[in-house]
A and B are shown apart, each in its own frame.
Chain A
């Protein structure tokens, strides 16, 4: 079974600063997908960024980027120029070619002015 581990239950960052959220996963598959979802206080799950395992290039979406280390099974999320609206729960998720997403337990991000 695949597992996803987020080792940081809570993180804090000042506005305009950079923060990195960690995620590791365990799988025997070679082809899979990784995601970061954001859940603000409204509790709507919003896709932040995704990465295909076969792509060596790290995905980037505006201020959000990932550091994908396939051999180490690591998938961290970097948020640059943090904004108050970035405050939320962030979930790392894994999916192989199968049916569903496996989620980590989440990291709560606090953004301070």
Chain B
């Protein structure tokens, strides 16, 4: 089955630690995205990548980093510079040239800072 997987489902981090959230897709989509969801805030864009080896900052990129070495994978690192990292993180992908500009979402990762 084609889809997007995110791991882990739950992640706990101590203050000062970096953690990496995994996102993998087998939909052969070119574009991938990371969103952060906080209660009452909707989804906000962290980073996006439209092609391998290229990525762009979104609205709230500070304290986060990404890489796009393979088309299928777009991991997100939450660094110690992120002041309030506790949130729900969603990865999405989109086919280039999609007539609907539709994004497909993974199941999410819940990150909690202890």
Question: Interface digits, A38-63 against B, CB 8 Å rule (1 contact, 0 not)?
Answer: 00001111010010100000000000
The bracket for how many chain B residues form the interface is 20 to 34
* Given A33-B100, A99-B31, A100-B48; A106-B108 close (CB under 8 Å): no
**Partner among B40, B43, B50, B108 whose Cβ is within 8 Å of the Cβ of A101:** B43
Q: Does the CB pair B105–A101 fall under 8 Å?
A: no
Residues of B close to A35: CB separation below 8 A: 102
Number of interface residues of A (CB under 8 A): 22
B42 and A43 contact, CB distance less than 8 A: no
Interface check B53, CB cutoff 8 A: no
Chain A binding site: helix, strand, loop or mixed by DSSP? loop
Beta-carbon contact of B41 and A105 below 8 Å: yes
By secondary structure, the B interface counts as strand
- Chain A interfacial positions (CB closer than 8 Å to B): 4, 9, 33, 35, 37, 42-45, 47, 50, 52, 91, 95, 97, 99-101, 103-106
Q: What is the interface of chain B, defined by CB distance below 8 A to chain A? A: 31, 33, 40-45, 48, 50, 56, 58, 88, 90, 92, 100-105, 107-108
* 14 residue pairs bridging A and B, Cβ less than 8 Å apart: A4-B42, A33-B102, A43-B88, A43-B108, A47-B102, A47-B104, A52-B100, A91-B43, A99-B31, A101-B33, A103-B44, A104-B42, A105-B40, A106-B42
